[in-house]
Structure 1
Amino acid sequence: MRQARIHHHDHRPRWQLTKPFSALRAPVRQTAPPRGDAPSGVSDARRHYTSSVPVVLIAAVAILAFSGGTGLSWLPLLAVGPALAAATSGPWGVIRIGVLAVAVGAALGVHGGAPGNEQAIVLSTLSAVTLASALASGLRKRREQVLAAVRSVAEAAQHAFLKPVPATVGQFQTAVRYSAAAAEARIGGDFYALVPTPYGVRLIVGDVRGKGLPAVGIAALVLGVFREAAYDEADLLDVVHRIERSLARNLGPDDFVTAVLAGYPEADRMELVNCGHAAPLLVHDSGVLPVEPVRPAPPLGLRALAGEAPGLQDIALADGNQLLFYTDGVTEARDHKREFYPLVERLSRHISDEPSRTLAALHEDLLAHVGGELHDDAAMLLLRKPARTAPVAPNEPDALSGPRCSSSVAAE
């Protein structure tokens, strides 16, 4: 991953250190909502509803006080209006709510015949709560801006770290789905890469032990080495050896990476090297078949302890076949009954000729299985080899065989 330049001169926002009241004066820049949020119409309706709650509350207090004739006994509840507005409105919106609360409090005091000193104390309290709530609202807006900026940086980091995969790479139709478990994150410890090389299309899908920034750093290291070695090394096993040597110099004693690498060096043949990772799923006419490694190998980073080298496995890949690569965040996702997600069964149910549509259906089904929120990073990469049709030969007479007939290669 190309590392973004981050300056560490001051980790705290400057407005928070020197000018806490500038939040009331500085205009708040509107930022576009991240992808996947509610439509703007729904957001505006929700915002309008929540901003009207303090007004409704103040009106309810006024009705109770005027109808009950209890004087100042209801006035403390008016402070809830500006305090609640701080969570939903901007600073000036809070001030408007506060002015309304003070006006209602003054009217209630006059209506109830409250002594002047008591009424002054209550109204001063309402004013102080309003100012404090306005300041809190300004600081909240600023923090929302910072969060939006951080999310945009994470979005850019994701595109550099996990580069978008086009719909077609080499001979394959492709699609990717990725979800990070960390809150507000765009990237995690799962990774993938798919690159065309002089030796055919090559890919890697893997999972770093652990979560958070350390896992992201290791995943970036693996992807960087893979993207270089995939172009340099003619043998897929040599690509694995390059990654292993790099990890041996950089991993901690408890770190390791599970990964599966694949290459397509020639027609109808796919090479696989599985290093402790979940078996890819081959989709063909007979159904969905896990491609278990013939020679199991330890995860990357543990070869020195295990003393076993990975082996190269060849599988036939006919036209129309598909290969699904995934991480354990998919298969180990549990529902409320603690049952794992049945990936093989659900893939058979949602498979289609469009990889993007297949993964979209799988992703929605996975979220429904876990109740809407994943608790681990999850990645899926699907390849489909389209059926090829041979070019139609012109019907020209031939001295030996007569007229030529058009022919095609049927999808298996």
Structure 2
Amino acid sequence: MQPHFRRGGPATVSSRRLPFALVLAYLTVVVIIDLITPANLRLNVFAALAPLTAAMVCTFRQTVFIGVLDFCLMVAHHGILADAVPLNRVSSFVGNALMVTASIAVARLRRDAEALLERVRATGEAAQRALLRPLPLRTGGVVVDGFYVSSQREALIGGDIYEVVDTPYGTRVLIGDVRGKGLGTLGAGAAVLTAFREAAYHRRDLESGVEAMEQGLHRYHRSRAYQSSAHPDGVPGSSPESLVMRASEEFVTALVFGTEEGGPGAPGDDGKVPVVFVDCGHLAPFLIGPDGDVRELEAADPGLPLGLGDLAPARRTGRRLTLPAECRVLACTDGVTEARAPDGGFYPLAERLGAWAGLSTPELLERLRADLDAHTGGRLQDDAAVLVMERAVVGAG
């Protein structure tokens, strides 16, 4: 379900065979017309369009072939004929040589630019995959599947984050949404993810882990890297208060789920899974029952987003509940629920889930992904992430 870059290679070369054939056919037609028309009707200018077009739509080798062929044909026909005016021979020779050389140069520059872009894409993909691991993710008791769609073209990730960690205390699952969208939110998202991964192994209770995540976000906002990004030109702000204001506006909504290994939250023999989750200003998750029933799981005490916890009079508290056997929990970011159709209508997620509750998790995610694209017309306004958590089947690979 994860988006991947399409890289150059055989498929790319194959896709350029048709443009090459069309350019070659165009050159052939021009040459034939030039041969059967009077000598004073010169079409070498039209033939010169062939290598120029090839430079834009064909590979470098194809462009070189078209350019050399065009040069040889036009010079042979207009440049070395005995009855041709010497000035015309020179102009045909020099003109075609310049056009072909320019076409090959453009094709070379385009090839180098595409190679550089491919290397940048590969590097970006590796970096982004290190930040967010591909789904599905599995622990000893839970399997989490889903998808992620970045609103920024050619980016795998943006302002949404997720993680699944198998710890000595049980499974820990995070889904979050950094205020904003696109690659500019990666710093805050990475800070929260790093703190979550560390806290998951060293703090048993989720409430304490959430506090560590908020502390990690505060450290990021106080870092020199963040302050430099706030003033990319190296010009300090008008006052320290402006930086504080900017940091307070970059909060992170999050949901953190956890099971307890060997405790009251451990999966039971009856298939039921006691879990606890902490809501940090995020959208309520949905419980999908085996009978097709879909309902929201409201937190007992919805807390403020990460970064704004100091404004609350008390620490965030979790809600404990026991999930029936074969139930699933779906959590998403507001890029899904606030996705707009061309007419401005929001995406009816709850209604869709009610109709698809009987589908398997991979089928449900595939249907949801396709329907979201159809609803928005392929123009997603914000990053969108969806996670579906369910009990892992014992013995499954």
Q: With structure 2 as the length reference, what TM-score do the two structures score?
A: 0.80
Query: 1:334-373 deviations in whole A, cap 9, x for unaligned?
Result: 2222222222222233345642332222212222222235
Paired residues in the alignment total 355
Between the aligned partners of 1:72 and 1:175, the Cα distance in structure 2 is: 67
Q: Does 1:150 align with 2:98?
A: no
Label 1:38 to 1:363 Cα distance change in 2 as closer, same or farther (>3 A). farther
Output aligned runs, 1:1-12, within 5 Å. none
Displacement after TM superposition at 1:172 (Å):
2.2
Q: Secondary structure at the match of 1:361?
A: helix
Residues 242-267 of structure 1: per-residue CA shift (max 9 Å, x gap):
11122223232421111111112214
Aligned residue for 2:346?
340
* Cα distance, 1:35 vs structure 2: 4.5
> Does residue 329 in structure 1 map to residue 367 in structure 2?
no
- Check 1:387–1:136 CA distance in 2 against 1; reply closer, same or farther (3 A cut): closer
Corresponding residue to 1:254 among 243, 249, 253: 249
How far, CA to CA, are the matches of 1:193 and 1:298 in structure 2? 20
Q: Secondary structure at the match of 1:71?
A: coil
Deviation, 1:67, is 4.3
Cα displacement string for residues 23-77 of structure 1 (whole angstroms, at most 9, x for unaligned residues): xxxxxxxxxxx95649988655432101122212222323443444363543222
Distance (whole Å) between structure 1 residues aligned to residue 352 and residue 86 of structure 2: 73
Q: Does 1:53 align with 2:53?
A: no
* Residue 97 of structure 1, aligned match among 66, 73, 77: 66
- The alpha-carbon deviation at position 308 of structure 1 amounts to 5.8
Letter of the structure 1 residue corresponding to residue 353 of structure 2? L
Deviation digits for residues 305-326 of structure 1, max 9, x if unmatched? Answer: 4556423122331111000111
Q: Distance in 1 between matches of 2:152 and 2:40?
A: 52
Q: Is 1:200 the equivalent of 2:170?
A: yes
Contact in 2 for aligned 1:256/1:300 (Cα 8 Å)? yes
Higher mean C-alpha displacement, 365-374 vs 237-246 = 365-374
**1:278 pairs with 276, 283, 300, which one?**
283
- Aligned to 1:87, the other structure's residue is in SS state helix
SS in 2 for 1:178: strand
Q: Following the alignment from structure 2 to structure 1, what is the Cα–Cα distance between the partners of residues 193 and 329?
A: 21
CA distance in 1, matches of 2:377, 2:216: 39
Alpha-carbon shift at residue 178 of structure 1 (Å) = 1.4
What RMSD over aligned residues (CA atoms) do the two structures have, in Å? 2.8
Confirm whether residue 320 of structure 1 aligns to residue 326 of structure 2. Answer: yes
Matched position secondary structure for 2:157: coil
What are the within-5 Å matches in structure 2 for residues 284-303 of structure 1? 284=289, 285=291, 287-303=293-309
Q: What is the alpha-carbon distance in structure 1 between the residues aligned to residue 324 and residue 357 of structure 2?
A: 17
1:161-195: CA deviations, max 9, x gaps? Answer: 11234553232232121122222222212110111
Instruction: For residue 276 of structure 2, give the secondary structure of its aligned residue in structure 1.
Output: strand
Cα pair 1:90 1:134 within 8 Å, conserved: no
Q: Give the aligned residue type for 2:298.
A: E
SS of alignment partner, residue 129 of structure 2: helix
Q: Distance in 2 between matches of 1:225 and 1:309?
A: 18
Q: Retained in 2: the 8 A contact 1:82–1:133?
A: yes
- Provide closer, same or farther for how the CA distance between residues 54 and 310 of structure 1 changes in structure 2, counting only shifts above 3 A: same
CA shift for structure 1 position 301: 0.6
Q: Which residue of 1 aligns with 2:87?
A: 117
Shift in Å, 1:232 = 1.3
Greater shift after overlay, 168-177 or 107-116?
Answer: 107-116
Give yes or no for contact 1:71–1:109 (8 Å, CA) kept in 2: no
Unaligned runs of 5+ in 2: 222-246, 268-272
Amino acid at match of 1:137: A
Name the SS of the counterpart of 2:56 in structure 1. Answer: coil
Provide the C-alpha distance between the structure 2 equivalents of 1:218 and 1:379, rounded to a whole number of angstroms: 17
- After TM superposition, the structure 1 = structure 2 runs for residues 393-404 of structure 1, keeping only pairs within 5 Å, are none
- Which ranges in structure 1 are unaligned for 5 or more consecutive residues? 1-33, 389-412
Q: 1:134 to 1:188 in 2, by over 3 A?
A: same
Letter of the structure 2 residue corresponding to residue 51 of structure 1 = F
TM-score, normalised relative to structure 1: 0.78
For 2:40, the equivalent position in structure 1 comes to: 71
Give the equivalent residue in structure 2 for 1:381: 387
Deviations 1:279-301 (A, max 9, x none): 11110135111223332322111
Amino acid at match of 2:170: G
- Are 2:176 and 1:226 equivalent residues in the alignment? no
Question: Residue 270 of structure 2 aligns with which residue?
Answer: none
* Counterpart check, 1:127 vs 2:104: no
Q: For 1:176 and 1:56, locate their aligned partners in 2 and report how far apart those are by CA, in whole Å.
A: 48
Partner of 2:132: 162
Aligned amino acid, residue 386 of structure 2:
M
